[in-house]
């Protein structure tokens, strides 16, 4: 499986392009993601205060779940109990040069995808017309995390699954399901 996933990472890095590398780095920038959620919250609070407040509550729950499970159990626990997975650029330094910020924690799961998909589930549950936008954002972020050499495709899939779980569980807590 590891050899197959390595080949997939190498495939996602084609074609070699400085422009695509810059775009990929920008798409997965933590600062851009924080700015994205800041803008979403400001717009929701400005145009739709009541739903905006509930959405912020939902996003807060998702991000707390993400921090406890993805960062706590998977990332910290992986390091502590030796089930950490090396990132592609660390496992194959001769083939994969990292693009952007070099993360040094476990590759599994993709925290970017877990938190973003969880947040997008909440966003779309309040503003259903944004479903296509949410899919495009998740797809671009998935592509960029693999292209940047930070994750294998299975890390991204696990991150997406966790994100759906965080979003679903949050909707249950909010009584929206």
- pLDDT tens per residue, range 8-23: 999 999 999 999 999 9
Evaluate whether 96 touches 147 at the Cβ level (below 8 Å). no
Other C-beta atoms closer than 10 Å to the C-beta of 117 total 27
User: Angle of helix 111-126 relative to helix 153-173, nearest 10 degrees?
Assistant: 40
Total number of domains in the chain: 1
Range of 41's domain?
A: 2-173
pLDDT tens for each residue of 63-119: 999 999 999 998 888 778 777 899 999 999 999 999 999 998 999 999 999 999 999
CA-nearest of 121, 113, 105 to 170 is 121
| Whole-structure pTM value | 0.95
Token pair of 66 as six digits: 């993400």
pLDDT tens for each residue of 114-147: 999 999 999 999 999 999 999 999 999 999 999 9
Contacts of residue 31, Cβ cutoff 8 Å, sequence gap at least 6: none
Token pair of 30 as six digits: 């933590």
Separation of alpha carbons 91 and 152, rounded Å: 11
Token pair of 6 as six digits: 């390595």
Cα Rg of the chain, angstroms: 17
The position carrying tokens 């909440």 is: 122
């Amino acid at each position: 499986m590891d050899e197959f996933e390595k080949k997939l990472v190498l495939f996602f890095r084609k074609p070699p392009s400085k422009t695509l590398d810059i775009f990929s780095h920008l798409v997965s920038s933590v600062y851009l993601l924080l700015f994205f959620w800041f803008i979403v919250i400001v717009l929701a609070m400005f145009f739709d205060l009541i739903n905006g407040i509930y959405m912020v509550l939902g996003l807060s729950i998702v991000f707390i779940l993400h921090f406890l499970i993805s960062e706590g159990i998977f990332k910290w626990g992986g390091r502590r109990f030796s089930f950490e997975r090396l990132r592609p650029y660390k496992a194959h330094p001769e083939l994969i040069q990292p693009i952007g910020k070099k993360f040094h924690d476990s590759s599994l799961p993709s925290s970017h995808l877990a938190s973003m998909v969880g947040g997008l589930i909440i966003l779309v549950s309040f503003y259903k017309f944004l479903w296509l936008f949410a899919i495009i954002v998740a797809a671009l972020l998935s592509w960029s995390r693999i292209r940047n050499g930070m994750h294998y495709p299975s890390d991204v899939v696990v991150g997406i699954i966790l994100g759906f779980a965080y979003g679903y569980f949050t909707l249950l807590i909010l009584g929206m399901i």
